[in-house]
Structure 1
Amino acid sequence: VIFINQIRMKIGVMFGNPETTTGGHALKFYSSVRLDIRRIGAIKDKDVVVGNQARVKVVKNKMAPPFRVVEFDITYGEGISKTGELLDLGVQASIVDKAGAWFSYDGQRIGQGRENAKTFLKENPEIAAQIEHRVRENAGLVSAAMLEGGPEGEGATDSGAVSEGAASS
Structure 2
Amino acid sequence: DTSEIEFDELVDDGAAKEKHTALHGALTQLASEFGKECRLSLPNFFIPRCASVISTGSLKLDLALGIGGLPKGRIVEIFGKEASGKTTLALHVIKEAQKLGGFCAYLDAENAMDPMLAEAIGVDTKNLLISCPDSAENMLSVVDKLTQSGSLDVIVVDSVAALVPQCELDGEIGTGEPDALSKIMTKALKRIHYSLCRSKTLIIFLNQVRYSPRSNQGPGMRDEVTCGGNALGFYAAARLRISRTGLLKLNDEVTGIKICVQVMKNKLAPGMKSTKLGIDFGRGLRFEPEVLELAIEHGLIIKQGDSYLIEGESVSSEHAAERYLAENEIVLEKVVMDLRRQLFDRNS
TM-score bracket, normalised by the shorter chain, equals 0.5 to 0.7
- Give the 3 Å change call, closer, same or farther, for CA 37–93 of structure 1 in structure 2: same
Q: Which has the larger radius of gyration?
A: 2
- Give the 3 Å change call, closer, same or farther, for CA 75–139 of structure 1 in structure 2: same
Corresponding residue for residue 13 of structure 1: 217
Q: Which amino acid aligns with 1:68?
A: K
Q: Which amino acid aligns with 1:56?
A: V
* Mapped pair 1:119 → 2:323: yes
Instruction: Give me the whole-angstrom Cα distance separating, in 2, the residues matched to 1:22 and 1:5.
Output: 6
Note the C-alpha offset of 1:37: 0.7
Corresponding residue for residue 130 of structure 1: 334
- Give the 3 Å change call, closer, same or farther, for CA 111–141 of structure 1 in structure 2: farther
Among 81, 88, 91, the alignment partner of 2:293 is: 88
Q: Which amino acid aligns with 1:76?
A: F
- SS of alignment partner, residue 255 of structure 2: strand
Instruction: Give me the whole-angstrom Cα distance separating, in 2, the residues matched to 1:76 and 1:123.
Output: 19
- SS of alignment partner, residue 207 of structure 2: coil
> Does structure 1 retain, via aligned residues, the 8 Å contact 2:265–2:271?
yes
Instruction: Give me the whole-angstrom Cα distance separating, in 1, the residues matched to 2:305 and 2:257.
Output: 23
Note the C-alpha offset of 1:71: 2.0
Among 52, 55, 73, the alignment partner of 2:278 is: 73
Among 5, 23, 30, the alignment partner of 2:234 is: 30
What's the CA shift string for 1:22-45, capped at 9, x where partnerless? 558625753413222112232222
Unmatched 5+ stretches in structure 2: 1-156, 158-204
Q: Which amino acid aligns with 1:43?
A: L
Note the C-alpha offset of 1:108: 3.6
How many residues get paired?
Answer: 140
> Does structure 2 retain, via aligned residues, the 8 Å contact 1:104–1:111?
no
- Matched ranges for 1:54-65 at <5 A: 54-65=259-270
What's the CA shift string for 1:127-159, capped at 9, x where partnerless? 2233223213323549xxxxxxxxxxxxxxxxx
What's the CA shift string for 1:82-120, capped at 9, x where partnerless? 21231122122121233555433256433423x432222
- SS of alignment partner, residue 6 of structure 1: strand
Instruction: Give me the whole-angstrom Cα distance separating, in 2, the residues matched to 1:28 and 1:112.
Output: 45
- Greater percentage in helix: 2
- Greater percentage in strand: 1
Corresponding residue for residue 302 of structure 2: 97
Unmatched 5+ stretches in structure 1: 143-169
* Mapped pair 1:50 → 2:249: no
> Does structure 1 retain, via aligned residues, the 8 Å contact 2:261–2:274?
yes
Corresponding residue for residue 164 of structure 1: none
State the percentage of identical aligned residues: 24
TM-score when normalising by structure 2 = 0.34
Higher RCO, Cα 8 Å, sep 6+: 2
> Does structure 1 retain, via aligned residues, the 8 Å contact 2:216–2:223?
no
Corresponding residue for residue 101 of structure 2: none
Instruction: Give me the whole-angstrom Cα distance separating, in 2, the residues matched to 1:38 and 1:13.
Output: 20
> Does structure 1 retain, via aligned residues, the 8 Å contact 2:260–2:275?
yes
